[in-house]
Structure 1
Amino acid sequence: MILLLDLGNTRLKFALLDGDDFVHRGAFGWDADIAHELATLWATWPAPEHVVGASVVDTARETAVAVAAGKAFDRDPVWVRTPAHACGVTNVYPEHARLGVDRFLAMVDAFAAGRAPCVLASVGTALTLDALDATGRHLGGWIAPGPLLMQQSVLGATVQVRPDRGGSVLDLADNTADGLASGCWQACAALVDRFVDRTAPMLGGHPVVTLGGGDADLLAPLLQRDVAVVPDAVLRGLAVWAKSYVVSGNIA
């Protein structure tokens, strides 16, 4: 068994992989007492043979999770750092380590699952967009604030924009709360649609479009095209990487 760790900007997600199946899984926000919560939960889990993690957070949070894994299972995590090439996916960044490992692993999952050529959108703290061709080559992507971060940015930079409630996404809003929510969510939806329009000719004309991240279900209905919502793409890509390199002993 392999314990997989996905350390994202908003929360820690983790799963215990047995063969091809997640037999246990969980998630905690970073505002939780991570050490206590993990110790309590992991005390009930069977011990994995390997612990493999992917992180876009700071060293302090990586260390906290690593210490918890060591105490619970007597295993040190193997941290995946973005490579130039792995699992059939080629990283287009000249400085390959600067591509977020979460984005790379989502492409690993897409390629392994046979979804390439595709556009991958992930909606969370940031909105990330990537194009992956049929051969597994990453063509590049875009990064923008996610819809909630957009709203926070407006609130932080203005004095009089102070809605007294969370807004709804409407075609035409008649109040500040709904106007702010509508503008930010529709801006993200429009960006996804524009990215697909721009990259489709390079991806054979009709790429699969996938949507992941914590806000995927909320953004999907706002798009002008059908999309496949793909939850846990990072964990699944991490599983492919772990079985290819850690279990085999060929650390990338």
Structure 2
Amino acid sequence: MILLLDLGNTRLKFALLDGAEFSHRGAFGWDADIAHELATLWASWPAPVRVVGASVVDPARETAVAVAAQKAFGLSPVWVRTPAQACGVTNAYAEPHRLGVDRFLALVDAHAAGRSPCVLASVGTALTLDALDADGRHLGGWIAPGPLLMQQSVLGATVQVRPGGAGAIRDLADNTADGLASGCWQACAALVDRFVERSAPLLGGHPTVTLGGGDAAVLAPLLEREVLLVPDTVLRGLAVWAKAHTETAKIA
């Protein structure tokens, strides 16, 4: 079994990979006492033989999770850093390490699952968009604030925009709360639609469009096209990476 770790901006997600399936899963927000929560939960889990992680957070949080894994299982994580090429996927970035490892692993998952050519959208703290062709070539992408971060940015930069509570998404809002929520969510939806429109000719005309991230289910109905909701793309990409590198090590 392999313990997979996905250290995202909002929360830590993790799963035990047993063969081709996740036998155990969990997640904690960073506001939790991570060391205590992980020690309590992992005490009841089977011991893995390896720990593999992907991180977009600071070294301090990586270290806290690494210490917890060492205490629980006597293993230190192997952190995946974004390469120029791996698992059949070629990175478009001239400086490969500057592509977020979460985005690269989502590409790995999509390619391994046979979803390419495709557009991958992930909606969380940030909205990321990537194009992947049928041969596993990453063609590039866009990055923007996610809907909630966009709303926070407006509130932080204005004096008069002070809604009394969370707004609802409406076609035509008649109050500030709904206007702010609607504008930010619809802006993200329009960006996804525009990216698909621009990248489709390079992807054969009709690419699969996948949507992941914590806010995917809210954004999906706002899009002008049918999308495939794909959860846990980073963990699934990590599983592909971990298996491939185990096989490479055995051959070597």
> Does the TM-score normalized on the shorter chain lie above 0.5?
yes
Q: CA separation in 1, counterparts of 2:116 and 2:149?
A: 29
Alignment of structure 1 residues 12-161 onto 2, 5 Å: 12-161=12-161
Instruction: Tell me the CA shift for residue 160 of structure 1.
Output: 1.1
C-alpha distance in 1, partners of 2:172/2:144?
24
What pairs up with 1:123-202 in 2 under 5 angstroms? Answer: 123-202=123-202
TM-superposed deviation, 1:226: 0.2
| 2:4 equivalent in structure 1 | 4
Partners of 2:147 and 2:117 in 1: CA distance: 26
The amino acid that maps onto 1:243 is K
Q: Report how many aligned residue pairs link the two structures.
A: 251
Deviation string 1:38-91 (CA, Å, 9 cap, x unpaired) is: 000000000000000000000000000000000000001000000000000000
CA distance in 2 between counterparts of 1:43 and 1:249 reads: 29
Unaligned runs of 5+ in 2: none
| RMSD (Å) for aligned C-alpha atoms | 1.0
Q: Read off the aligned partner of 1:101 and give its amino acid letter.
A: V
**SS of alignment partner, residue 249 of structure 1:** helix
C-alpha deviation, 1:249, in angstroms: 2.3
Matches within 5 A, 1:202-241: 202-241=202-241
Q: TM-score, normalised by structure 1?
A: 0.98
Distance 2:124 2:113 in 1: 23
Percent identity, aligned pairs only?
Answer: 82
| Deviation for aligned residue 1:247 | 5.6
Q: TM-score, normalised by structure 2?
A: 0.98
The letter of the residue matching 1:13 is: K
- Alpha-carbon offset, residue 246 of structure 1: 3.7
Q: One-letter code of the match for 1:188?
A: C
Could you report, residue by residue, the CA deviation over 1:116-162 in whole angstroms, capped at 9, with x for unpaired residues? 00000000000000000000000000000000000000000001111
Cα deviation, residue 218, structure 1: 0.4
CA distance in 2, matches of 1:115, 1:21: 19
